[in-house]
Structure 1
Amino acid sequence: MNTFPKETYIERRNQLKKKMGSGLLLFLGNEESSVNFKDNWYPFRQDSTFLYFFGLNMPGLAAVIDIDRDAEIIFGDNLTVVETIWQGSHPPLSDLAMNVGVGITRPKNEIEHFLASAVNQRIHFLPPYRPENSQKLAEWLKKSLAEIQSQASVDFIKAVVSLRSIKSKEEIQELTKAVNISVSMHKKLMLEAKPGMKEYELLGLVAGQALSLGGSVSFPPIITIDGQILHNHNYSNTLVEGKMLLGDFGAESGMHYAGDITRTSPVGSKFTDSQREVYQIVLHAYHVAVAALKPGIRFKEVHLLACRKLAEGLKDLGLMKGNLDDAVGQGAHALFFQCGLGHMMGLDVHDMEDLGEEYVGYTEELKKSTQFGLKSLRLGRELEKGFVLTIEPGLYFIPQLIDQWQAKKLHSEYIDYERVAHYRDFGGIRVEDAYVITETGSMLLGDPLEIEIKAVEGVRNGKSSF
């Protein structure tokens, strides 16, 4: 079982105790989850916050930090003899716990009594995202499921977010491993994709590449010639000369840190003239956004800066018109860029999304927008040294959305719908890399992957290798 040195977990828990001050902190690990019958399981994935503070990647665990009594306990069971027949022998839970600096373990069935004995103490728990954990909390704490959903501890959420947001050197090393596997996956796709192939063939290639390098996929890969569909998991299309192939995927390292990269390449050997024009607009917005990254700047401002650059390029093509500051302020550009510029990345590819975007990406002073497009920005807050985030501008031509806006004459003072009609079947383009915020700016995580037009076309022509 891969873990950091036990001192890492001890220090993380000590920092958490200082931030919380008092009370009992309850951590729920995940269980095995069945696919279609009990013992046919999905691949197990431990809860990320449990991994962050306790490091044990195995099912059936819970843990508590009793701040008032200065006690840390992991609840779980050792394998039975029958279980070892099927799973092999594992070290005793007590030994595993000692490896992450926890000296007390108890059987899993004792946790309900333990929590019941915590009189005059507030029990803090994080919002559960799996139904079985909601049910456990309801049973253990004698509350309804509705109460469980509404009574997650905001103080606990904020304390966890404040710690997990800043990546340590050892976390950056692990993230770099994940990104480098992701780069290799993308090289595999860019080198081997050919007209006539099915998208699902490419899915097999990139997933196999991740597994062969000791990782796994960090989220269901997006591999599509219909790049205008933002999260397309269809995989049934046939690659056709003249179309573009959008690949948005990444690897998860052995310690479950995520990578996330996007590239758009021609199905053939070269982009068409119109594809090259739109790609260059997206690439320019990417470079401008990266140059703006530094501690203290609100990521919302970086997002809007990228939107402005996208709008400028669209105006040069004749697709947008009028005052672009007003156009972006009113969200007219969102016909072509409906999502956010990026997101935090760490143990989750959308880091800590289970804890709530309002806590991870926003603050008491900065609230999420309700404007179409801008409301999809997961991260708006001021950047800090140690943040790891993605930069992923794109332009998407969605026929259904174009028809809806045109029928309503929405933002017609900023959009030339007659010109847009020529791009109905264009598709979509996105590029994406991950950056760590440094003292004065930012640094690309991992090995660079070809992103400039000539370099991408070079890979498609076999002028690159692993």
Structure 2
Amino acid sequence: MFNTNIYITRRNELTTKFTSGKVLLLGNIENPINFEHNTYPFRQDSSFLYYIGIKSPRLAAVLDIDLGETVLFGDEMTIDEIVWMGQQQTLTEKAALSGIHKVLPFEQLFDYLKKGGKNSIHYLPPYQSHNKLLLGKLLNCPVEQFQPSIALIQAVAAQRSIKSAEEIIELEKAVDVAVDMHRLAIQMTKPGLYEYQISNAMQHFAQDQGMSFSYPPIITKRGEILHNHMQFHQVHEGDLLLNDSGVETSLGYASDLTRSFPVGRRFTSLQEEIYQIVLHAFKSAERLLTVGARFKDIHLKACEALVEGLIQVGFMKGNVQDAVANHAHALFFQCGLGHLIGLDVHDMEDLGEQYVGYTETEPKDTKTFGLKSLRLGKQLEAGNALTVEPGIYLIPELTQLWEQQNLHRDFVNYDFLKKHLKFGGIRIEDNYIIQENGARRMGKYLEREVNEIYQLKDNAPN
């Protein structure tokens, strides 16, 4: 946990946004894999971590604005639990580290919330099934009629979006370990290996550093599948491997890096051409990161850089600005340029992208292919932590569909494109913190130039 005063200050800042009522923060539970006592690895709710800091399951906290107190609801270990798990730090001791001095049994949460009525309770959107059922009982309300507090969502999103000095330290710890993990993957990858062998080695490395994957890693030679978690392919000379993976610190802060590299010692000529296009778009976006810049505009500038390169190679044609304005580039770049990062790898996604990545005056485009997958579009502020991750992906099924629908023939060279539909995909991704005078890439530098990747390959241990 952080210093006690950090959690007290965070809660005090949050409660100043309300004049009355109770802010309810629900922790997560352990979820069973196939029977009650065989559970998935426990991960605490990120907003609960931010304001309370305790990683134990089955907890709830109430910030009572009217009484000016914070109450933690949970249960101390029973003697049976001590027998099986050993005596651990008590819940009262954990609460004290968070600056909370009132701890009540979990079952008293119901009676405590009844005081003032359910309309006085401010709560966030639940995503765990258990918490949906729990809220239904607490509010005496069916799930489909939940009305999470918009004011609370906005207050939490605004507060968590600005990273403090201690948070940036944690984020950089996560980046540093991920950088070494990615270098390991680049150097160990060679023809004949299986994707899962690379993934296993990375997981082993992360755990040796006291960290774990911050999300299921994407380690694949089928990089055109954007969230491809299958890792059963054997890789061969001439294949391109895409590695999108990051780690999470013990306090829950995440990194999210991507590198694309040859399985053998060198890219093919087309792979290197496409890689340079993506790298140019990456650098174009990197230069534009600054306070006040609208991330949606940076995304579109990166798209223009991608189109410029795709025209030179022969995949696209026509005017660059017109192609992007008509969203023809989305055949090759279907997703967004980046997202906020923090306690969640897609920070605060459970609160809703409209509240986290956009504003009321500039809402998210939820219909346009490509833009609807842009998680961040608003103006950047000092303290924002985010990713930049342009890519080019040749998806055979999407290409076939667009050609059948006669889409964007003024911009897409389908005859040339169809000769290269087995190409796959390339993505490059780093993590940044926005500062008053621009932006800074967080953590250690991870090789991204073609010659740097080749040097890593050449210096790989036998």
TM above 0.5, one fold? Answer: yes
Following TM superposition, by how much is the alpha carbon of 1:462 offset from its aligned partner in structure 2, in angstroms? 2.1
Distance in structure 2 (CA, Å) of the matches to 1:420 and 1:438? 41
Q: Does 1:408 align with 2:405?
A: yes
Q: Secondary structure at the match of 2:67?
A: coil
Instruction: Return the match for 1:305 from 301, 304, 309.
Output: 301
- The one-character-per-residue Cα deviations of 1:316-359 (angstroms, maximum 9, x if unpaired) are 11211112111101100000000000000000000000000000
Distance in structure 2 (CA, Å) of the matches to 1:445 and 1:87? 38
Q: Which residue number in structure 1 is paired with residue 68 of structure 2?
A: 70
Q: Does 1:45 align with 2:43?
A: yes
Distance in structure 2 (CA, Å) of the matches to 1:279 and 1:421? 19
Instruction: Return the match for 2:242 from 242, 246, 256.
Output: 246
Q: Does 1:452 align with 2:449?
A: yes
Distance in structure 1 (CA, Å) of the matches to 2:436 and 2:20? 33
Following TM superposition, by how much is the alpha carbon of 1:423 offset from its aligned partner in structure 2, in angstroms? 1.7
Q: Is the 8 A contact 1:24 1:121 kept in 2?
A: no
The 5 A counterparts of 1:172-187 are 172-187=168-183
Q: Which residue number in structure 1 is paired with residue 131 of structure 2?
A: 133
Q: Which residue number in structure 2 is paired with residue 9 of structure 1?
A: 7
Distance in structure 1 (CA, Å) of the matches to 2:368 and 2:454? 37
What letter corresponds to residue 293 of structure 1 in structure 2? L
Q: Which residue number in structure 1 is paired with residue 217 of structure 2?
A: 221
What letter corresponds to residue 242 of structure 2 in structure 1? L
Distance in structure 2 (CA, Å) of the matches to 1:87 and 1:203? 31
The 5 A counterparts of 1:64-463 are 64-119=62-117, 122-148=120-146, 151-369=147-365, 370-462=367-459
Distance in structure 1 (CA, Å) of the matches to 2:218 and 2:134? 34
Distance in structure 2 (CA, Å) of the matches to 1:364 and 1:140? 31
- The one-character-per-residue Cα deviations of 1:396-447 (angstroms, maximum 9, x if unpaired) are 0011111111111100011111111122111110000000001111001000
Q: Is the 8 A contact 2:21 2:116 kept in 1?
A: no
Q: Secondary structure at the match of 1:426?
A: coil
Distance in structure 1 (CA, Å) of the matches to 2:430 and 2:142? 43
CA RMSD, aligned part only?
A: 1.2
Following TM superposition, by how much is the alpha carbon of 1:386 offset from its aligned partner in structure 2, in angstroms? 0.3
Q: Secondary structure at the match of 1:7?
A: helix
Following TM superposition, by how much is the alpha carbon of 1:263 offset from its aligned partner in structure 2, in angstroms? 0.1
Using a 3 Å threshold, how does the CA distance of structure 1 residues 191 and 12 change in structure 2: closer, same or farther? same
- The one-character-per-residue Cα deviations of 1:84-138 (angstroms, maximum 9, x if unpaired) are 1221112221111111111110001100011112348610000000110010011
Distance in structure 2 (CA, Å) of the matches to 1:318 and 1:37? 55
Q: How many residues align?
A: 461
Following TM superposition, by how much is the alpha carbon of 1:463 offset from its aligned partner in structure 2, in angstroms? 5.6
Q: Secondary structure at the match of 1:109?
A: helix
Q: Is the 8 A contact 1:6 1:100 kept in 2?
A: yes
Distance in structure 1 (CA, Å) of the matches to 2:321 and 2:119? 53
- The one-character-per-residue Cα deviations of 1:200-256 (angstroms, maximum 9, x if unpaired) are 111111111111101000000000001111110110100110010000000001111
Distance in structure 2 (CA, Å) of the matches to 1:79 and 1:16? 30
Q: Is the 8 A contact 2:396 2:421 kept in 1?
A: yes
Distance in structure 2 (CA, Å) of the matches to 1:406 and 1:368? 28
Q: Secondary structure at the match of 1:181?
A: helix
Following TM superposition, by how much is the alpha carbon of 1:20 offset from its aligned partner in structure 2, in angstroms? 2.4
- TM-score if structure 2 supplies the norm length? 0.98
Following TM superposition, by how much is the alpha carbon of 1:145 offset from its aligned partner in structure 2, in angstroms? 1.5
Distance in structure 1 (CA, Å) of the matches to 2:17 and 2:439? 28
Using a 3 Å threshold, how does the CA distance of structure 1 residues 400 and 124 change in structure 2: closer, same or farther? same
Q: Secondary structure at the match of 2:23?
A: strand
- TM-score if structure 1 supplies the norm length? 0.97
Q: Secondary structure at the match of 1:314?
A: helix
Distance in structure 2 (CA, Å) of the matches to 1:190 and 1:88? 42
Distance in structure 2 (CA, Å) of the matches to 1:460 and 1:408? 43
Following TM superposition, by how much is the alpha carbon of 1:464 offset from its aligned partner in structure 2, in angstroms? 8.9
- The one-character-per-residue Cα deviations of 1:353-399 (angstroms, maximum 9, x if unpaired) are 00000000010011112210111000000000000000000000011
Q: Is the 8 A contact 2:31 2:40 kept in 1?
A: yes
Distance in structure 2 (CA, Å) of the matches to 1:311 and 1:234? 30
The percentage of aligned residue pairs carrying the same residue is 47
Distance in structure 2 (CA, Å) of the matches to 1:293 and 1:38? 47
The unaligned stretches of length 5 or more in structure 2 are none
Distance in structure 2 (CA, Å) of the matches to 1:263 and 1:464? 20
Distance in structure 1 (CA, Å) of the matches to 2:378 and 2:14? 22
Distance in structure 2 (CA, Å) of the matches to 1:393 and 1:407? 27
Q: Is the 8 A contact 1:198 1:237 kept in 2?
A: yes
Distance in structure 2 (CA, Å) of the matches to 1:317 and 1:120? 61
Distance in structure 2 (CA, Å) of the matches to 1:433 and 1:120? 44
- The one-character-per-residue Cα deviations of 1:286-306 (angstroms, maximum 9, x if unpaired) are 001000000001000000000
The unaligned stretches of length 5 or more in structure 1 are none
Q: Secondary structure at the match of 1:375?
A: helix
What letter corresponds to residue 266 of structure 2 in structure 1? K
Distance in structure 2 (CA, Å) of the matches to 1:87 and 1:453? 51
Q: Is the 8 A contact 2:23 2:123 kept in 1?
A: yes
Following TM superposition, by how much is the alpha carbon of 1:185 offset from its aligned partner in structure 2, in angstroms? 1.2
Q: Is the 8 A contact 1:458 1:464 kept in 2?
A: no
